[in-house]
Structure 1
Amino acid sequence: MPQPLEAQMQRARLSSFKRSQLVRDLLRDRWMYLLLFPGILYFVVFKYVPMLGLVMAFQDYKPFTGFINSPWVGFKHFERFFMEPQFWSLFRNTLLLAIYNLVFFFPLPILLALMINEARREMFKRIVQTLLYLPHFISWVVAVGIFYVLFTTEGGVVNELLAQFGFEKIPFMLSEEWFRPMIIAQSIWKEAGWGTIIFLAALSGVDLQLYEAARMDGAGRWRQLWHITIPAIRSTIVILFILRLGSFLDTGFEHIFLMLNSMNREVGEVFDTYVYMKGLTQAQYSYSAAVGLFKSLVGLILVLGANKLAKKFGEEGVY
């Protein structure tokens, strides 16, 4: 066995070798790391540094006294939030919208990507992709405005057509029953096409020889789709599903806020709009920070649980 001094020298040489290897790797891939730097800087500045402000959820924060001099109150704001009569209403509205998004919106980009991938004419595929991508670049203000023009009872195109055929006009934008379907329909129209990009990229990596071998074995288009195409993107679907759960309770403030009015507020008020009302309009910064932290913790638990479950079933997971 080596003497203690020899062991220390071996460890020192190994550490020096690792450092020199790291330096060589950094110099070799310096341009790739340089391209990566803006992305890392974005996440540090806008994602990690603001996390320091979460301490206000445990303080009675006042802007003039700052974080250091604001008194600590422990879990007072969390207790208040859970005891609020409005809590269960907010939780139900947020949960229902999140489930509807997961059930109706999440699978649609996968189906669109599979259908686009099955198209054989490149020109047709490019035209369809462009038309599907365009709504993503429209702001939610414009998107909701378009839906108001189409579905409002006062001169809306859809309601005017209903009236022409002898049906009663439907208050789509004011009705509680239609609030959630309208939210999901707008999300699908605006973002489903953009969501196909990752799945189409995954499909482009499928070995074409697999399809040729399947055709030689007599497999039709449906068999190829079921046994080759879908398994090829299964890991991508699982990873995106896990990441989606991280923002499970994020229903989108701007979208919901633009659709809210006095007639549908009972079913439309969610955690995001509640945080805006309490934090910005009423200056209850600590309380709104506690609500936001609760949402983040729920997302973290869902991601950890889904990742563990995915690995249990043989998938790679996120980490």
Structure 2
Amino acid sequence: GPDRFYMIAMVGLSIVVAAAVMAALLARRLTSSIRNLADIAAAIGRVELDELRLPRASRVRELDELARAFALSLRTIGAFATYVPRQLVRQLLAVDPADRPPSEQRELTVMFTDLSGFSRLAEHLSAEETARLLNDHFRRLTACIVAEGGTVDKFLGDAVMAFWGAPERQADHAARAIRAALAMQEAYGDDPLLRDHGLGLRIGLHTGTVLVGDIGTAERLNYTIVGDAVNVAARLVDLGHQAGGGREVVVLLSETTVHAAGAEPIVEDLGDQQMRGRFRAQRVYRLPRRPLPDADLNVSLTHLTPHP
């Protein structure tokens, strides 16, 4: 009768409503899972890994398998990111590979640093203490380099090699390198690492033409620089060991770096200096310690007055 028909209709309507609610909940859950995976993929593309969490597990088999694959990718990329400078990866990803030649001649500014006295100190430290000290040292130097848009090329023992002007072209690469050196002077101004251990930080800056790009083999490539300008920056560090005592920061610059940055008013002219392995003496300048310039990255350093 009518009552039975009404009851069947209500049951059917209840089933439809329940199915619609379940479908909406399932769609919301699927959408949330897919959005989570999309956010992770976008962050991986930007090489922003520090804040990422592993993707959530899903009761949907296909989504759960996808989440597991993303988690594996995240761990793999995180491992590689430990060994490859992230800012370099971001810069290389921003350039179409078809537009980037394997290597090219370009004028850059090269920085070398060396921790004077560290080898002697390491003889009295455990392996763990040595690693902890070096990691802290590299962290601080790298922060100064990256803040000025530089590329950390490699760590060599307790030394750091970096450069400005590639892969991103920077018309003010020399000024950026000098500001990074100034930041290092501030970071180590009265630092216990130098004071308590009798160490000294030596920094060399040179501007010149180098070959920059992918150097190596198909099995192992390095984005690096090759050329005499690299040797000159390293020789300036060697000269820096003779220019000051242990517990201080000594920054030596070549004439080309000083001129390129317009930094003549803020440096001390040391005259022509004979560097190891060089046939001719070269003009060398020293950067006195001073407060960091409060200036935009694109302006020259000539507005600064010499430090007394």
Instruction: Sort the TM-score into its range (normalised by shorter chain).
Output: under 0.3
User: What TM-score does the superposition give when structure 1 sets the normalisation length?
Assistant: 0.20
User: What TM-score does the superposition give when structure 2 sets the normalisation length?
Assistant: 0.21
Higher relative contact order (CA 8 A, sep 6+): 1
Bigger proportion of residues as strand: 2
